[in-house]
Each structure stands twice: as structure tokens, then as C-alpha cells.
Amino acid sequence: MQDGDHVLAAEAAVRGGTEELQAGGAAPKEAAAALSVDGLAVLVLADRHAERGEPDRATALLDAARPAVEAVDDPWGTALDDLVHARVRLAAGRPDEAQARAAAALAVFESLPDAAGRMRALEVLGYLDEVAGDLTGAVRRYGDALLLAVQGGWPHAQCHLSVRLGSVTDLLGDHAAGRQRLAEATALARRVASPSLLAWAGNTLALADARAGDRAAAERGHRQALGWYRYAGSVAGIAMTAAALARVSTPARAAALLDQAERAAVATRDPRAVAYVVEGRALTARTDERARHFVALARRLRTEAGRPRVPGEQPDLDRLEERLRDCPGPGDR
């Protein structure tokens, strides 16, 4: 997506998505109006860049939005600024700062009260729990956020949070409940006719199928998700899904899929997508030396992006790393 497309996406989000950010009644709506469409658009645009793994661009946009936020001097605008800063800090690999800003945003949104703001802040805090390995904490936060989405009548947010909750539930070992939640999210994505949500929900369910050893179901799910991501025009989605599909395909197909995934990942400039493709390279490497190289590269990319692997998310890679530790290379002896 080019910069002009990002601007259009931000403007569309401001036109069509602020009802979720303004769910707390008259005061939040007035605050949003005071912040101005321009100021709100810049914050939304910064959030989009953070989601894409581009913290430098996001930070520059936050700097540009600061005068508008400071001019309003309103709790809602300040909380929204804190929330976006939290997501940017997360993308920049600074989870402690992200935790503090998200917690500050949550406190303000609770005091207003603003249900949608609480929902978004809880999701960020849940994700921080998830990447830190506190899966139980993540389930609690995601569950609270999902309840707010249901009460608010926000189906897109319901679907999004159901995917997160289903994935973490599966990782905790409750595979039946986790996969059921993911199946429900896929059905909801189909009802709201969102190609990107349908792709994400289906892809996450396929990842759970792969972890359960059902490679046939995983391959079907990844192929369907890849089609939806292509339809939605999500280059990052194509990169991640093609790499996931490679893991459950034949060696001959895997090579071509990883090449496709690599081209898409490089085009996104998102280190998370590149790291996932590199991890796929590690799993298909013909020698331990090459596998060790790819594992180290992926770890560095994830560290720079502030997005470590969630514990148990990639058991095949966990097993590879354990084997490489047990069989050190020539330089490690």
C-alpha cells in the first residue's frame, strides 16, 4: 500500500469507524469533534503504520498530531493519543512503554466511560500478555474486550477479538474450545462480508489445525485464506499465509510458496512478515548450518520489531530450535 492509499484508508476509518471510538456518549463525541477530523485522521494513520510494523513513520505522524491533541486538552483525546502511542511503542519493540501507555488509556476510558476505548485498550494489554507468555492473562483481557464488543453491537470488533481469544485458548491447550471459537469467528466474518477478516479468521483456524496435526485441514484453510487475502489486496496477509501454507505442503510446493511469500514480505517492509518467512526457510533448510542461520535471523527481526513468538505458537520451530541446541554447530563447540 502506498502512502496515498494509507491516507485514504485513514480518512475512511475516520468517516466509518469513529462510532466505535466514540461509544461513551456525548462527551467523547464532542471531544472527537474538538480534536478535528485532521487530528483524528493523523492518529488513525499512525495506528495503521504501527500495525504494519513501521514505528518510525508512526512516530513521525504522532509528532505531527501532538499540537492538535494538546490544543484540545480533553481526556478522550489524551486517552486516544495514549492508546495509539501504546501500539506504536509495541511495534517499536518497547513493550514496557506500551504497557504504561495502554494502562493509562484504559484508566481514562473507564472513567469517561467509553466502552469502545476500553475495548481497544484491553486488546492491546491482552496482546502484551500474550507475547509475554501470560496466556491466562491474555484470555481474561480478550474475553473482557469481546464482551464489550458484543454489548456495543460491533460485529467487526467481535470477529477480531474472537480470533485472538480463540487462538490463545487453543495455545493454552483447550483445543476444542479454541477451534470452536475460531470457527465462530470465521462464520461471523462471512456474515459481515469482510474478506480481510474472513482471511485472518480462516488462517488462524488453519494454524490451529496444523498444531493439532491435521495437515489436510490446515492446507485447505490456508489456501482459502490466501485467496481471500489476494481478493482483499493484503500483501502482508499474502506473505504470512503463503509461508504458512508452505509448512503443510509437499517439499516441491513449499519452495515455490516460500519464494512467493518472501517477495510479498519484502514488499511490505514489515519485519514480522519477513521473520515468519525466514522461519519457514529454517524449517525447510537442507543443512543444520542453514537452519541455524535462518533461526538467528528471524530472532533478530522479531526482536527489532518487538514481536517475539508467542509460546507454543510454532511447535515445529520450537522442536527445530531444541534440536539445534542439542546438536551445536562447529562454531559452538
What digits encode the pLDDT tens for the residues 172-195? Answer: 999 999 999 999 999 999 999 999
The predicted-structure confidence for 128-153, as pLDDT tens digits, reads as follows 999 899 999 999 999 999 999 999 99
Could you please report the per-residue DSSP string of 54-77? -HHHHHHHHHHHHHHHHHH--HHH
Enter the C-alpha cell of residue 148: 464489550
Predicted pLDDT at 53 = 67
Q: Measure the CA–CA gap between 52 and 49, rounded to whole angstroms.
A: 5
The predicted-structure confidence for 1-55, as pLDDT tens digits, reads as follows 333 333 334 334 444 444 433 333 333 444 444 445 567 777 877 887 777 667 7
Which of 87-96, 215-224, 262-271 is most confident?
A: 215-224
The predicted-structure confidence for 206-228, as pLDDT tens digits, reads as follows 999 999 999 999 999 999 999 99
Predicted pLDDT at 34 = 44
pTM score of the predicted model: 0.83
Question: What are the helix and strand counts (H, E) for the chain?
Answer: 16, 0
CATH number for 1-153: choose from 3.40.50.720, 1.20.1090.10, 3.40.50.620, 1.25.40.10.
Answer: 1.25.40.10
Predicted pLDDT at 13 = 44
